[in-house]
Amino acid sequence: MSAQQTQNIHLARKIALQPEKYIDDPSQFTTAWAALKAARGQSIDTSRLHAAHLIDRPLPASEPTEIEKCMQRVADKTRELIQARRSNLPPAA
């Protein structure tokens, strides 16, 4: 397999693994899928790719629930207490 073919397969794999990023152009996903199948010596019938195979846009993040808010308050308070004791706590902890 040539370097160009390998590069094309990597790009096709990237597209096939993240179809939601290519939702505005379904033909890119179809082409990537066909390239991956062709690399394995298989063929696809693109007429069988119906709407069920399309990926919906991700929903916006919902508001945090009460338990998530409580967990965040506990984490913030714990961080404050540790810093008050002058422990070396990384900022991302």
Q: Taking the chain, what is the end-to-end CA distance rounded to the nearest angstrom?
A: 45
The pLDDT confidence band at residue 31, using thresholds 50, 70 and 90, is confident
pLDDT exceeds cutoff 70 at 93: no
With left for phi above 0 and alpha for psi between -120 and 50, is residue 61 left, alpha or beta?
beta
pLDDT digits (tens, 9 = 90+) for 35-91: 898 888 888 887 776 554 555 666 777 888 888 899 999 999 998 888 888 766 666
Sign of CA dihedral 15, 19, 20, 26: positive
Per 3-state DSSP, the chain is made up of helix, strand and coil in percentages (nearest 5) of 60, 0, 40
Amino acid identity of residue 69, one-letter, is: K
> What residues does each domain of the chain span?
3-53, 61-93
Angle at 50 between CA 55 and CA 15, to 5 degrees: 40
